[in-house]
Structure formats: structure tokens, C-alpha cells
Amino acid sequence: MRITKFRIKNYLSILDSGEVILEPAITTLIGENESGKTCVLKALETFNGEFKYSIEQLCLHSDTKTELESGTINEKDIEIVTLWFEMEEEDKRKLKSINPQLVKIKNLKVTKYFDNSYSSESPDISLEDIKTNIKKKLNKNISEIKNISTVFKEKLDNHSKRNPPFSGSKAHYDEVINEIISFDPVTNPEIDKVFTNSFNRLVGLPNADAPIQNDIQAFIEEINPHKDSIKETLSKKEEDVREEALEMLPSLIYFSDIEKLEDIVALSEYISKKERHKTLDNLIKLSNLNVDSFEGSGAYARISKLRTASARITGDINQFWTQEKVEVNLDIREGEIIISILDDVINNYHPPSIRSQGFRWFLSFYINFMAGSKGELKNAIILLDDPGVYLHASRQKDFLNALEKISQSNQIVFSTHSPFMIDREKLRRVRIVTKKVGKGTLIEEKYWDSKGDALAPIRASIGMKIGDSLFTTKNNLLVEGYSDEIILGAMSKLCLKKGEQYIDTSKISVFPVTGADKMSLFATFCKIENFKFLVFLDFDTKGRSTSKELENKYKINRNNIMMLDKFAGQGKDLVIEDLIDFDFYLEALNAAYEEIFQNKLKKKSIKKDDLKKTTFNGIKDFFKEKQIGTSGRVDKIKVAKEINDLVVEGKVPSEETTSKFLKLFKIINEKLETS
């Protein structure tokens, strides 16, 4: 079952999205920061049954909230998400099992309201006139009861041979079991009375020793769910089929920042605080391991279960990670859960933390995706918010290829800022997200209607003008990572508001190469293609080493390299985060890590007094010491996004910070001759 189109109304920044067509496989949302891409994805996620709305989520651009509070409208009148589904062959088979008339359904429209209720309709058939196939559901449970009872009778016969005194009860238990097998719930609706009486007679059998009583209790526990299901089915005999049809709808699984898989976690810590180790918990669930009772099982049984679990995850991940063959190994020993990775390049086991951020992100995404789709890897709607941020440009293309494979059995909607995540041969997939005053977030499909260059709105939506790509522009600023790009963008907005020097993205393309060690590849490419470019590096050990390598090995002109040494004292290292006044950076850090600090430190924020040094290195040392975040490392991207949000909200850092970035932007513009 796939979504053909959606409509979102009355949710946060979305007043009315209009009807938006989704592609059968992959749909890509692009747009400027704050346009509402995340809001669209989160709204779609709320369609899931377990999600409950709150009044704070009502649209900011309408009077809906006021009308609801005044009693002018009711919660049940407020539409939030409407999805149109198209049936596939497997769906038709499931519908037929509910009621044969349902095979006529080709399309289904379902709306979720603010009171968390649903309405459903089909242009192909009237759902209100079709009732649930009660008899078929009853027969299934009755058949299960007969099978369970037959097996139980054989167990009692074996007990009669083992325990001769009990053989005198054979006629008694035969009579009880036959009554259970022949029971007809339609003609005898007193279900609880019948089964309770039968169970009491079994429990009271003479000469029943402990093994027999254990089997009797197990039989009762196995029968009870089927008995309860029969009662529930009979109580709903006048209900139409809509509720059962809704249960067939696919899950909508949202991914944003994904908790990466840890190297080692204490078994006791995991068992007592599973919610803090979501990716590991999902890995263990997918492995079908009962970790709570794991230590109590035999040694060989433990080895067998662990190897089976490792083989399953390894087989799954290699379907989509094509860079190299990897083996994911799950082990439990000496009270610790240990994860290790083996690949076909380095023939040795290593912890996940030494692998690239891209691989770790993909591994964690895939584990959580498998868990979200209940291990079936199909019939799910996957919502990805800016995926591939941690991946190198070439790996982003590989990840896009992986999504192509996943989309064969799952529908995917993702937002992105990266041109490498847009397939230029499939631009029909692109939807442009914008925000207009008084109208909120809007979604545009028909980019081809634009005059002139048909790709202009696409380039504009990802922060570029015509030619503003690494492959065509003559002005490229190469930065080490995505966090550098976000910080430069945020401070550029601030300086633009002041009417001062800033980075004009219509003239300069800021391109994150995800690591100083990858800078040589992109700098060499720009040199060969005769593009104008500037390499921007932190003034630290890695930055200085990269600068020398670019000059000496790759013959990059020194004028094409810029470091932060102009802002550092003699012998002092400096990274871009150090240009921001410490109080402002700390505010962003606390906003980004509030929940994690609460869980780890039992407080929502940290202060200067908690740190040995009031520098970015001081924060890094604190994270490492307290083992906060993934492997005790600061997620610079996460904090950079908070810095951008603070600037968008109108908060500004110190004048000293602004002065430093003005000086930085002046140098960049002069070197690229754009001022």
C-alpha cells in the first residue's frame, strides 16, 4: 500500500498544504532553512495511531486554536492529515480475508483529526455497508483452540503412563477436553462461564502431580487469548470493516538525528535503562535475543544465539552498504554487551566508533529502520530529515542508491540541502517547500512551470543560484564540515542584517567536504577545472598538517588556503567554534543537549564552573570525561543548528564575535574577489 498524495492542515507552520502528489518510490523535499521541511515530515508521522495531538501543535497562521478554546469548533472537526492510498496485490488479499467485497477497493482516503479519530472512504465502494466477516474470525480462533486442546490431551495421556494413579482421571479429562473442542460460541454465548468451569475441573483432577499441574496452567494460559478474541469478535458483530482496514495501513517511520550504535554497554545498564540505548535495543530486538535472562542460559546456547543474531544483521546490512563487505558481531561477556565490526579491507574486528561517521550513521539508520518496519523491510513509509549529513559527497550518492533499493518495497520521503542527494535524472521527485507570510508553509510540485532555466527554483531552494555548484561555479569556499557551513551561514545572516560584509551565496558556494583529510580531493579538482576556490581550515594540528600537504604534495597555491591563525595568539590552536563568544556557544550547547544532560548529569544545562577550560577544547574534554554523546564526543552539527536557530530567533552574540566574523568575511570576499 502506497501513498499517492497527502494534505496537511492546521499543523504548526502549515495552514493548508493543498493536495501534494507523492512519487511511488522516492519524493525529495528541498527548501531554505525554516521553510517547514521538517514540519511536513513530522506532520506525516503524526498520522500513526499512537500519536496524540496537543493544542500547542495547532497552526500558527490561523484562528483554529482560538476557535477551539472558545467552543466555536470541536476537536473532531479539525482535520490534520489526509492520506490517499493505492492498493497493491498483497493489500487486496488482506482485504479479501476481512470481507470479499473489499477487493473492489483500488483507492482509500483516510483523514486523521485533532481528536485523534479517523475517517475513511473509498470512491470504489461504500465502506459503511460492509460488515466484518465474523464467521471467518471465529473459525480461526475455534480452530486454534481445537489444535491446542488436541496437543494438551496427548500430554495428559503421556502423564497417565508416567503416573499410574493419574490414569484413573482419563475419562474425566477426556470429557472436559471434548466439551472445549465442541464448544460453539454462537449458540452458547456464556463463554467465560463455560471455560472457567472447564478450567476448574481440570485443575481439580485427582492425583495430578506438579508436572501435570504445570501443563494444565500452561494450557489455560494458551487458550485464554483465543477465548478473549472470540468474545471481542462477538461484541463487534455489527461493526463495519473500517477499523480492520485501518489496521492494514503502513507505518510512517520518521528519522532525524539517529542515536549511533555504542561500542560497549554494561548489561545491567542496558536492562535497567533501555530507553537510553534505543539503537542497541532495536538491534537486540531484531536479533531475537532475550537479554534479560541471557546470563542464565547455557554456554553453548548463548554462543548459538549470538552467532545467529550476528549473521542475521550482517546479511541485512550488506544488502545496502556496498562500499565493502562488513560483518557485524554482537557479543555478551563478563556483564557487557560488545559490538564489533569486521570488513574485507582490514581483516580484524574493531569497535563501531573508529569507523567513519557515514558508516555508523547508515548502520544505525538501518537497524532502526528494520525495527520500525517490524523486521519485514516492507510496507513502511520512511520519512528522513536531512539524511546523509555525515556522509562524504560520494557516499551520499551511494546512500541514494541504497534508498533506491529500499524504495522497491517501501515508500520514502526525505528532505535535503545537498545537491548530491538529488538525482538529476529524476527531477520529477522534487517538491519545493517555501514559507509565505500569512500563508505559512507551502509545497510546490510544478517547478517546470518556471520561465527560463527550469532548474532555477531547485537551485534557489537549496541555497544556490545558477552555476552555484562545485561542478560549475567559479567561486567555491571549501570548508571542513557541515557544522562550519551552518555557523558561517548563521553569522552571515547576522552581518547581512547589520548591512556589513557577509557571504553572498549567489556568488560563493560554501561546500563542506566532511573532514580536513578529504580537502585535497576537492581542492585538486577545483584546480584542474580552473575554478576559483579558497580552502578554509581550522588552525589546529590537523589543519596545519592539511595546509602543508596541500602546498607541498598537491601544489595548491598558498593564496588558495586560509587558516584561522589570524585570530589566534602565538602557539594557540583555534577552531571556528572558538570565534563565537563562549556564553553564546554554551547557550546553544545547552539547548542541543538539554535532554541528554538531564539523563546523564541529572541537570538540564552545564555552566562555566563545570569546565576546566572555557574553550571549545574545554567542552570536548568535559564530554570525554563524562562520556556524554556518542563515544564522549560533541556533535558539532547539532550545536551549530542551535546556533543558527538562536540567530533566526533574533538572539545575537557579543560585538567581539561579530567583529571576528566581519574580518573573516572580508578576507574571504577579497580572496575570491567578490566584494
253-378 — its CATH code?
3.40.50
Torsions phi, psi for 26 (to 5 deg): -130, 135
Q: Is the dihedral of CA 187, 191, 193, 198 positive or negative?
A: positive
**CA 266/CA 50 separation, integer angstroms:** 31
Tens-place pLDDT, residues 144-172: 999 999 999 999 999 999 999 999 999 99
Better-scored residue on pLDDT, 674 or 485: 485
- Per-residue pLDDT at 44 exceeds 80: yes
**Cβ–Cβ under 8 Å, residues 454 and 608:** no
**CA 353/CA 363 separation, integer angstroms:** 12
pLDDT at position 33: 73
3 state DSSP class of 347: coil
User: What would the mean pLDDT of 472-496 be, rounded to a whole number?
Assistant: 87
Q: How confident is the model at residue 243 (pLDDT cuts 50, 70, 90)?
A: low
**CA 498/CA 495 separation, integer angstroms:** 5
DSSP assignment of 85-132: EE--HHHHHHHHHH-GGGGG--EEEEEEETTS-EEEE-SSS-GGG-B-
512 DSSP assignment: E
pLDDT at position 93: 79
Q: How confident is the model at residue 237 (pLDDT cuts 50, 70, 90)?
A: very low
Tens-place pLDDT, residues 266-278: 888 888 888 788 8
Tens-place pLDDT, residues 568-593: 766 688 999 999 999 999 999 999 99
- Per-residue pLDDT at 441 exceeds 60: yes
Torsions phi, psi for 512 (to 5 deg): -80, 125
Q: Which residues of 338-377 are buried (b: 16+ CB within 10 A; e: fewer)?
A: bbbbbbeeeeeeeebbebebbbbbbbbbbbbbbbbbeeeb
Residue 491 amino acid letter: M
**CA 338/CA 264 separation, integer angstroms:** 5
pLDDT at position 529: 65
**CA 459/CA 506 separation, integer angstroms:** 10
pLDDT averaged over the chain? 82
pLDDT at position 128: 61
**CA 271/CA 281 separation, integer angstroms:** 9
Sheet (strand 561-563) strand order: 509-512, 475-479, 532-537, 561-563
Residue 134 amino acid letter: I
194 burial type by CB count under 10 A (0-12 exposed, 13-18 middle, 19+ buried): middle
Instruction: Report strand pairing: 532-537 vs 475-479.
Output: parallel
Beta strands in 513-658 (DSSP E): 532-537, 561-563
pLDDT at position 308: 75
Tens-place pLDDT, residues 46-58: 998 888 999 989 9
DSSP assignment of 631-664: GG---HHHHHHHHHHHHHTT----HHHHHHHHHH
Better-scored residue on pLDDT, 462 or 196: 196
Q: How many CB atoms lie within 10 A of CB 468?
A: 21
% of residues, the chain, pLDDT over 90: 33
Beta strands in 495-590 (DSSP E): 509-512, 532-537, 561-563
**Cβ–Cβ under 8 Å, residues 292 and 360:** no
pLDDT at position 300: 66
DSSP assignment of 155-209: HHHHHHHHSGGGGGGHHHHHHHHHHHHT--TTT---HHHHHHHHHHHHHT-TT--
506 DSSP assignment: T
User: What would the mean pLDDT of 112-141 be, rounded to a whole number?
Assistant: 76
pLDDT at position 297: 55
∠ CA(457), CA(462), CA(467), 5° rounding? 70
3-state helix, strand, coil in the chain (%, to 5): 50, 15, 30
∠ CA(453), CA(456), CA(461), 5° rounding? 170
Query: Which residues, 6+ apart, have CB-to-CB distance to 179 below 8 Å?
Result: 194, 198
Tens-place pLDDT, residues 371-423: 766 555 567 899 998 887 666 666 777 778 878 888 888 899 999 877 778 87
Distance between alpha carbon 251 and the CA centroid of its chain, in Å? 12
pLDDT at position 130: 57
**CA 361/CA 555 separation, integer angstroms:** 34
Tens-place pLDDT, residues 485-538: 999 999 999 999 989 999 988 888 888 877 676 787 678 767 766 788 999 999
pTM tops 0.95, yes or no: no
User: What would the mean pLDDT of 185-197 be, rounded to a whole number?
Assistant: 83
> In 380-472, which residue ranges form alpha helices assigned H by DSSP?
393-406, 456-461
Tens-place pLDDT, residues 329-367: 888 877 888 888 887 666 677 888 887 767 777 778 777
Distance between alpha carbon 381 and the CA centroid of its chain, in Å? 11
- Best CA proximity match to 668, nearest among 489, 461, 544, 499: 489
Q: How many CB atoms lie within 10 A of CB 379?
A: 19
- Per-residue pLDDT at 604 exceeds 80: yes
Identify the H or E element spanning 496: helix 482-497
**CA 119/CA 82 separation, integer angstroms:** 9
C-alpha cell at 241: 470493516
- Per-residue pLDDT at 125 exceeds 80: no
Torsions phi, psi for 534 (to 5 deg): -140, 125
What is the C-alpha R_g of the chain? 31
